[in-house]
């Protein structure tokens, strides 16, 4: 095109004093940004192709590279920002829907960052987690309502199927196809080592990972890809996916070119065919319909596995959650509007759904008000970034959190948000053989284990400071939270008081 | 246990290292008629070239004998083996008993009885440090040197002295140089290279006669010279053994390096061995061979189990920066490649039998491996490996064994 | 004994091992200063073709053919590490002819060079292993 409307967003800055022309940047960039000029024996870059994934920066052995923000700018306009104008130019070029990856990156309030934690002083002494036992174990599932005894007075085991976790963290649903085999292997192995769970997403379960079944949650979504009896029975729990925080109300679409080899086999669809997950489940139009699916899955697995229903956090999430709790589901999973995705329409991702903090507070309150809180466990996701986010979520009422983006970051993701291009330079969101091998699960799983081990230490430290020695005692303990810079309404929804109160 | 080793070069030293792998305490006596600490024999030409020194060319460190608890009798000649008494006799009449005896007596220069040789004053052979010292002393800037023999020894000698004398002429009966290891194309390349450095050749003819400073070639051409080097080859030094057992081209040994006499072993240039690349028994006077035979002999002498069944010709030589690597036998079909960088020729049937490389020699050992370990060519990408030796040509499984497995 | 092992499954063909090797053998402190405008001749080398790549360096064989074949005594096994004494080496290349892995090569000085597991240059883990971003080369005890 003779007129170039789309400029490079980034510039590659190369310190030629440090560049030793090892060409690792060139070899490692799937976007072909870097090129070697043999006559001059130096490197050059075409930054128009750069997605700012930092692969080259990370691998440059002499730290000669920097990716900096391009400072091309249009005339300043508070209404028509550069970004808005660029998006418009892009659409005028292509005529297509804008696509984005990973979570909502717009500047909405992050409530976790407006909530502060409490600590004990004098009257309720804090606990040193290095000296005293600290319990982070949680169980997910429907709780027995009362203690039952048999005719001889012995305790009856009336526990329903549940998940046992060493800490209140799980890896959220990411399908084999959207992420790579090696990413899945890393998640599976880390889950096994940590005593937690990962989630297959709607991509089926590769047979190689059957041995990790006791740490696997399998998903049944609207496309029903990869669902069969062995798949369900292999798992520790089954998750019915109704919605996803990054694209509430929208289905999924994995292009046919990614449906190759094992991915086609695992999804049980022909190679090269598009994997289209419909926006709704075509057999679910009511809580009663949902209940049928819940019980069908329980039936298929002899009532031995808890069933999770996952929804996106939308406006009337509390009422929906109440319905789900009554559908027979054991666990409700709520995905906030900052949740990640391999590909979503940008406008949907950035403008649909609500923050997880508010959704969680609303759901927890509603279920308690209705006296059905113990019937279900509540798992929340949608941008849990740190141990403090987890502590805050638990104090707001969550039993556990799902982490997706954070796990991918541990595997090397630099949030370039180009997953939908399929050329992930970190070997995570790609199926290109030479890119796949960049994620060695031996390294990947260890990094995940490291991350969660670190978080667990931090959670124990924070709980100790509050004088709490068990995560169960933190759950729903909103007295441990105070808001800063929040208005009355927000505080009311969160069910917390303002700092200083 | 008393071990006696006759010979202080590669095979003898290797035997010490072989013995000490299993027997740390047995007494080892090394006897050599040369008066020197063990030295790297093939380096004598580099000594003349001044690329090494007598100190640097020591084959093992000064404390080698001490560290390995060896008694060393240097400058001592063994005159007889007495197998019935399990002892040897020295020139001074002394006897030394052995439990295990190793003959690592090497080879000696073959001296062609050219008519008139006696009349030549400055005549040298080129096999030992003493030879090199003597030759070195005789060299002067104007000297005209005549070398009889265009093989490995003759040419390395020529390279060693070329810059230190006025003129070097090499005479050989064969039509090309290095005739035992090079084909005619290869020989031509090396000869051109040597001629460019100033060496002169008279090939396809011998020396009919010598008369003081004048050699008459078969063609009738007469050459004047100041220094004459006899380098027509070597023969195994088997005299000691000849008196007690049958010999062939060298001392016959089995794969355990045992001779036909109990408790007597032989290793190195004095033996004849089975060339696995051709299936023939021959004398393979090569240092790598000598070492491996000597080490195997040592292990077996000390009660261990070692079999050496991988003998084959192989040579790595270089002349003024031009590398020449050859190995195996030149049998079967050929693949050759000649370009501005050099020359390559492979000889193969189901296996690789042999090769010649002149110039680029990277990863040549992979070809050697194909020959030594009789790797069937059908199991690898021969099209690739014949162009470029590398592990890429092997199967993934084989590579994984080589690079991820525990190597021998 | 710890050795360098290669798993081609994880080799990215990034060639960083070669540069770290070259750096380690310069003895310099700063990699950029050490390798700037230098054509490297590393002791570990990548073989690559059709998307397959792997690094090859000395295997430090238990029965080192190169050491046995060395005509000068320059190659020696010291506690299992095969080392080359550059002063003794005269560059005859018998070791190149011997090494079944192609792991010995001619150096700029006209003698031969090979991986010595960074024993002279860098205590601990060899630099190539430290620099490998994907565990395609590891330094460990096996077998």
In this predicted model, what pLDDT tens digit does every residue of B175-216 receive, in sequence order? 999 999 999 999 999 999 999 999 999 999 999 999 999 999
Domain A10-96: which CATH number of 3.30.460.10, 3.30.70.20, 3.30.70.2740, 3.40.30.10: 3.30.70.20
Chain B interface, mutation test: which of C5, C98, C114, most B Cβ atoms within 10 Å?
Answer: C98
The predicted pLDDT at position B407 comes to 63
Are C32 and A433 in contact (CB < 8 Å)? Answer: no
Whose CA is closest to B102, among B283, B290, B312, B274?
A: B290
Question: Cα separation of C96 and A373, whole Å?
Answer: 75
**Domains of chain C, CATH where assigned:** 1-57+119-143 (3.30.70), 62-114 (3.30.70.20)
Other Cβ atoms within 10 Å of B243 Cβ, number: 13
Q: Confirm if A260 and A271 have CB atoms less than 8 A apart.
A: yes
Which CATH number fits the domain B321-403, given the four candidates 3.30.420.40, 3.40.50.2300, 3.30.390.30, 3.40.50.1220?
A: 3.30.390.30
Q: Chains with ≥3 Cβ pairs under 8 A against A? A: C
Average pLDDT score over chain A: 95
Residue C74 pLDDT > 70? yes
Mean pLDDT score, B22-30: 95
Residue B373 sits at the chain C interface (C-beta within 8 Å): yes
DSSP readout, B26-46? SEEEEE-SS-SS-B-GGGHHH
Please give the Cα distance from A103 to A245 (Å, whole number). Answer: 9
Q: How far is CA B129 from CA B27, B35, B317, in A?
A: 28, 10, 19
Reported confidence tier of residue B318, pLDDT bands at 50, 70, 90:
very high
User: Which residues face B101 on adjacent strands?
Assistant: B4, B264
Measuring CA to CA, which residue among B243, B311, B237, B295 is closest to residue B270?
B237
Main-chain phi, psi angles of C105, to 5 degrees: -145, 170
Domain B117-230, architecture per CATH: 3-Layer(bba) Sandwich (3.50)
Contacts of residue C135, defined as CB under 8 A and 6 or more positions apart, other chains included, come to A440, A442, A443, C7, C10
Name the residue among C122, C104, C100, C129 with its Cα closest to residue C4.
Answer: C129
Q: Which CATH superfamily includes the segment(s) B2-108+234-301? A: FAD/NAD(P)-binding domain (3.50.50.60)
Confidence grade of residue A73 (pLDDT, cut at 50, 70, 90): confident
Within B310-390, residue ranges assigned H as helices are 364-372, 382-387
Q: Which of B398, B402, B401 is nearest to B380 (CA)?
A: B398
Q: What is the DSSP string of B254-282?
A: -TT-B-SSTTEEE-STTEEEEETTTTEEE
In this complex, the chains that touch B, judged by 3 or more CB pairs closer than 8 A, are C
Return the residue matching tokens 């003959």. B103
- Which of A259, A265, A332 has the alpha carbon at shortest distance from A294? A332
Residues of A in contact with C11 (CB under 8 A): 437
Q: Is the pLDDT of residue A240 over 70?
A: yes
- Per-residue pLDDT of A33-53, as tens digits, reads 999 999 999 999 999 999 999
pLDDT digits (tens, 9 = 90+) for A172-201: 999 998 999 999 999 999 999 999 999 999
The residue behind tokens 């319909």 is A289
Q: How is chain B split into domains, by residue range?
A: 2-108+234-301, 117-230, 321-403
Helices of type H across chain C: 16-24, 31-35, 65-69, 94-98, 127-131
Q: Are B252 and B258 in contact (CB under 8 A)?
A: no
Instruction: Please give the Cα distance from A309 to A320 (Å, whole number).
Output: 11
Question: What is the distance in angstroms between the Cα of C72 and the nearest Cα belonging to chain A?
Answer: 35
pLDDT band at B37 (very low <50, low <70, confident <90, very high): very high
- Is the per-residue pLDDT at A1 higher than 70? no
Contacts of B123 (CB under 8 A, 6+ apart): B117, B228, B229, B230
Q: Counting one residue from A and one from C, how many pairs have CB atoms under 8 Å apart?
A: 57
Q: If DSSP codes are grouped into helix, strand and coil, which group holds residue B105?
A: coil
Q: Residue A258's pLDDT is what?
A: 80
Quick one: average pLDDT of B367-390?
A: 96
pLDDT at C95 over 90: yes
What is the 8-class DSSP label of residue B63?
A: T
Between strands C137-141 and B100-103, the pairing is unpaired
pLDDT single digits (tens) B102-149: 999 999 999 999 999 999 999 999 999 999 999 999 999 999 999 999
Count of beta carbons in the 10 Å neighbourhood of residue A69: 9
CA distances to A55, A56, A438, B294 from A25, in Å = 8, 5, 14, 52
CATH architecture for the domain at A166-249+287-498: Alpha-Beta Barrel (3.20)
Nearest CB partner across the interface for C14, out of A41, A59, A64? A59
Phi-psi region of B33 (alpha: psi -120 to 50; beta: other; left: phi over 0): alpha
Q: Using alpha carbons, select from B202, B231, B201 the residue that is nearest to residue B219.
A: B202
Nearest to C11 by CA among C59, C57, C55: C55
- Round to whole Å and give the CA distance between A84 and C61: 63
Chain A interface test: which of C11, C35, C137 (most A C-beta within 10 Å): C35
- Report chain A's C-alpha Rg in angstroms: 24
Confidence (pTM): 0.93
Q: What is the pLDDT of residue C9?
A: 95
Contacts of C77 (CB under 8 A, 6+ apart): C60, C64, C67, C83
Q: Which residue of B has its CA nearest to C70?
A: B288
C26 touches chain A (CB under 8 A): no
- The residue to which tokens 């709980």 are assigned: A463
pLDDT surpassing 90 at residue B402: yes
Instruction: Determine the distance from the C-alpha atom of residue A469 to the mean position of all C-alpha atoms in its chain, rounded to a whole number.
Output: 27
pLDDT band at A136 (very low <50, low <70, confident <90, very high): very high
Name the minimum distance, in Å, from the CA of B56 to any CA of chain C.
5
Q: How far is A14 from chain C (nearest CA, A)?
A: 13
Residue A29 has pLDDT above 70, yes or no: yes
Place of tokens 């960083």: C16
What is the pLDDT at residue B408? 64
> Tens digit of pLDDT for each residue in C115-126?
999 987 777 899
Chains B and A touch (3+ CB pairs under 8 A): no
pLDDT tens profile A295-316: 999 999 999 999 999 999 999 9
Contact call for B57 and C54, based on CB within 8 A:
no
**Residue A495: what pLDDT?**
98
Contacts of B291 in chain C (CB under 8 A): 68-69
**Residue B53 at interface with chain C, using a CB cutoff of 8 Å:** no
Q: Which residues does chain A have within 8 Å of residue C20's beta carbon, measured at their own beta carbons?
A: 61
Chain C hits for A441, Cβ within 8 Å? none
Residue A447's closest CA among A410, A500, A499, A480? A410
Torsion A86-A92-A94-A95 (CA) sign? positive
Rounded Cα–Cα distance for residues A283 and A293 (Å) = 9
Looking at chain C, which subunits does it touch, using at least 3 CB pairs closer than 8 Å as the criterion?
Answer: A, B
What is the pLDDT, as a whole number, of residue A145? 80
Give the rounded percent of residues in chain B with a pLDDT score beyond 90. 95
Same fold flag, B117-230 and B321-403? no
With a CB cutoff of 8 Å and minimum separation 6, the contacts of C29 are none
* pLDDT category of residue A2 using cuts at 50, 70 and 90: confident
Placement of tokens 């059905």 in the chain: A372
| B14:C68 CB<8 A | yes
Q: What is the ipTM of this complex?
A: 0.96
User: 């000068």: which residue's tokens?
Assistant: C72
Q: Are A379 and A170 in contact (CB under 8 A)?
A: yes
């Amino acid at each position: 095109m003779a007129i170039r409307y789309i400029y490079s967003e980034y510039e590659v800055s190369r310190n030629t004093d440090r560049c030793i022309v090892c060409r690792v940047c060139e070899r490692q960039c799937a976007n072909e940004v870097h090129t070697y000029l043999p006559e001059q024996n130096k490197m050059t870059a075409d930054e128009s192709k750069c997605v700012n994934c930092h692969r080259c920066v990370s691998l440059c052995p002499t730290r000669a590279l920097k990716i900096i923000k391009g400072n091309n700018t249009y005339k300043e306009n508070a209404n028509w920002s550069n970004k808005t104008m660029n998006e418009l130019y892009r659409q005028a070029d292509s005529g297509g829907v804008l696509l984005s990856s990973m979570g909502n990156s717009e500047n909405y309030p992050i409530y976790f960052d407006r909530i502060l934690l409490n600590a004990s002083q004098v009257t309720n002494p804090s606990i040193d987690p290095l000296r005293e036992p600290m319990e982070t174990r949680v169980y997910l599932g429907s709780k027995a309502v009362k203690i039952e005894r048999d005719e001889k007075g012995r305790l009856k085991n009336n526990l329903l199927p549940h998940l046992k976790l060493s800490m209140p963290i799980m890896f959220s649903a990411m399908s084999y196809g959207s992420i790579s085999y090696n990413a899945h292997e890393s998640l599976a192995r880390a889950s096994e080592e940590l005593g937690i769970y990962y989630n297959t997403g709607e991509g089926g379960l590769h047979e190689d990972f059957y041995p990790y079944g006791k740490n696997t949650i399998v998903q049944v979504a609207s496309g029903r890809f990869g669902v069969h009896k062995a798949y369900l029975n292999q798992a520790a729990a089954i998750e019915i996916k109704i919605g996803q925080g990054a694209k509430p109300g929208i289905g999924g679409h994995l292009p046919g070119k990614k449906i190759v080899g094992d991915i086609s086999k695992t999804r049980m669809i022909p190679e090269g065919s598009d994997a289209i997950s419909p926006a709704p489940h075509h057999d679910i139009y009511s809580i009663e319909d949902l209940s049928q699916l819940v019980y069908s899955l329980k039936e298929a697995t002899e009532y031995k596995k808890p069933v999770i229903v996952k929804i996106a956090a939308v406006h009337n999430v509390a009422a929906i959650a109440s319905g789900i709790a009554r559908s027979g589901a054991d666990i409700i999973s709520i995905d906030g509007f900052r949740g990640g995705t391999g590909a979503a329409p940008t406008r949907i991702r950035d403008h649909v759904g609500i923050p997880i903090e508010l959704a969680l507070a609303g759901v927890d309150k509603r279920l308690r008000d209705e006296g059905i809180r113990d019937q279900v466990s509540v798992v929340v996701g949608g941008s849990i970034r740190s141990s403090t986010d987890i502590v805050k979520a638990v104090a707001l009422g969550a039993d556990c959190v799902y982490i997706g983006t954070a796990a991918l970051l541990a595997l090397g993701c630099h949030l370039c948000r180009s997953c939908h291009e399929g050329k992930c330079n970190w070997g995570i969101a790609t199926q290109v053989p030479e890119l796949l091998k960049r994620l060695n699960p031996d390294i990947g799983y260890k990094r995940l284990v490291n991350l969660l081990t670190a978080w667990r230490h931090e959670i124990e430290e924070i709980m100790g400071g509050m004088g709490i020695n068990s995560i169960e005692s933190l759950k729903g303990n909103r007295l441990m939270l105070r808001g800063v810079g929040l208005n009355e309404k927000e505080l009311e929804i969160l069910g917390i008081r303002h700092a200083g109160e | 246990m008393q071990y006696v080793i006759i010979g202080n070069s590669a095979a003898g030293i290797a035997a010490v290292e072989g013995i000490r792998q299993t027997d740390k305490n047995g007494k080892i006596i090394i006897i050599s008629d040369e008066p020197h600490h063990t030295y790297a024999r093939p380096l004598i030409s580099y000594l003349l070239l001044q690329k090494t020194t007598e100190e640097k060319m020591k084959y093992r460190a000064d404390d080698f004998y001490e560290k390995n608890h060896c008694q060393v009798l240097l400058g001592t000649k063994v005159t007889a083996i007495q197998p019935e008494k399990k002892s040897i006799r020295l020139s001074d009449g002394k006897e030394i008993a052995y439990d295990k005896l190793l003959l690592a007596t090497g080879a000696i220069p073959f001296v062609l009885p050219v008519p008139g040789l006696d009349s030549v004053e400055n005549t040298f052979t080129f096999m030992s440090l003493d030879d090199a010292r003597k030759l070195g002393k005789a060299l002067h800037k104007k000297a005209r040197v005549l070398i009889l023999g265009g093989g490995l020894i003759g040419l390395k000698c020529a390279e060693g002295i070329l810059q230190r004398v006025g003129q070097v002429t090499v005479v050989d009966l064969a039509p090309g140089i290095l005739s035992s290891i090079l084909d005619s194309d290869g020989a031509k390349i090396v000869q051109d290279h040597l001629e460019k450095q100033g060496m002169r050749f008279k090939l396809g003819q011998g020396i009919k006669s010598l008369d003081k400073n004048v050699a008459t070639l078969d063609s009738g051409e007469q050459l004047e010279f100041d220094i004459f080097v006899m380098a027509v080859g070597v023969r195994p030094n088997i005299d000691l053994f000849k008196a007690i057992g049958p010999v062939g081209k060298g001392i016959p040994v089995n794969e355990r390096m045992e001779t036909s006499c109990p408790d007597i072993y032989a290793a190195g240039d004095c033996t004849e061995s089975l060339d696995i690349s051709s299936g023939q028994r021959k004398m393979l006077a090569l240092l790598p061979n000598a070492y491996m035979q000597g080490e195997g002999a040592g292990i077996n002498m000390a009660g261990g189990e070692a079999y050496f069944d991988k003998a084959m010709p192989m040579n790595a030589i270089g002349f003024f920066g031009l590398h020449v690597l050859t190995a195996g036998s030149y049998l079967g079909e050929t693949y050759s490649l000649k370009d501005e960088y050099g020359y390559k020729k492979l000889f193969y049937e189901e296996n690789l039998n042999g090769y010649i490389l002149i110039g680029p020699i990277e990863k040549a050992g992979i070809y050697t491996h194909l020959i030594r370990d009789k790797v069937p060519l059908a199991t690898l990408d021969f099209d690739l490996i014949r162009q470029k030796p590398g592990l890429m040509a092997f199967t993934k499984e084989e590579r994984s064994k080589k690079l991820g497995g525990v190597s021998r | 004994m710890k050795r360098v092992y290669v798993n081609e499954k994880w080799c990215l063909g990034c060639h960083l091992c070669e540069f770290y090797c070259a750096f380690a053998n310069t003895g310099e402190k700063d990699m950029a200063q050490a390798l700037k405008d230098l054509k490297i001749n590393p002791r570990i080398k990548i073989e690559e073709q059709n998307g397959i790549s792997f690094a090859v360096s000395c295997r430090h064989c238990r029965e080192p053919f190169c050491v046995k074949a060395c005509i000068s005594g320059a190659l020696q096994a010291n506690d299992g590490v095969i080392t080359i004494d550059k002063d003794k080496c005269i560059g005859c290349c018998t070791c190149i002819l011997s090494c079944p892995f192609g792991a010995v090569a001619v150096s700029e000085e006209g003698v031969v060079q090979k991986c010595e597991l960074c024993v002279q240059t860098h205590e601990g883990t060899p630099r190539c292993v430290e620099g490998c971003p994907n565990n395609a080369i590891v330094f460990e005890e096996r077998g």
